[in-house]
Amino acid sequence: MILKEGEKVHIIHRRIYEKDLHRHFIGVVESYDGGVARVTGHVYTVDTVKFAFVKRPEVRTRLVSIVSGDVLVNVIPAKVNLEKITYKQERKAVRVTDGSDWRLDLSEYTWM
């Protein structure tokens, strides 16, 4: 199985047009079947005034087609505290971290 119940994931929705908003979703897989994951977590979007990622406060459950080609999925280590996730801009790189020694470098996905 590609994704397992309880795994933590960071999902990047591909932008179709240059002016599309940057949308990320971070959560926990509730179930996975036939290429579709049911994930509960939070949406992160870019605040266009501050040009920084912000966490939307409401918890959401999404059905995400992993095989559609519309998303990039990163599996996050079990030890990561999702409630402490923040985005940090370091030079031209963007990194996701929970404040521990773990971080996910997003510079390969070019967000600017």
Distances (CA, A) of 30 to 3, 16, 24, 27: 10, 28, 18, 9
Q: Which residue has the higher pLDDT, 95 or 9?
A: 9
pLDDT digits (tens, 9 = 90+) for 70-106: 899 999 999 999 999 998 887 777 889 999 999 998 8
Q: What is the pLDDT of residue 13?
A: 86
Residue 9 DSSP class = E
Rounded Cα–Cα distance for residues 83 and 105 (Å): 18
In this prediction, residue 85 carries a pLDDT of 94
Q: What is the DSSP string of 14-53?
A: PPSSTTSPPEEEEEEEEEEETTEEEEEEEEEEEETTTTEE
Tallying the residues shown for the chain, one arrives at 112
pTM of the model: 0.86
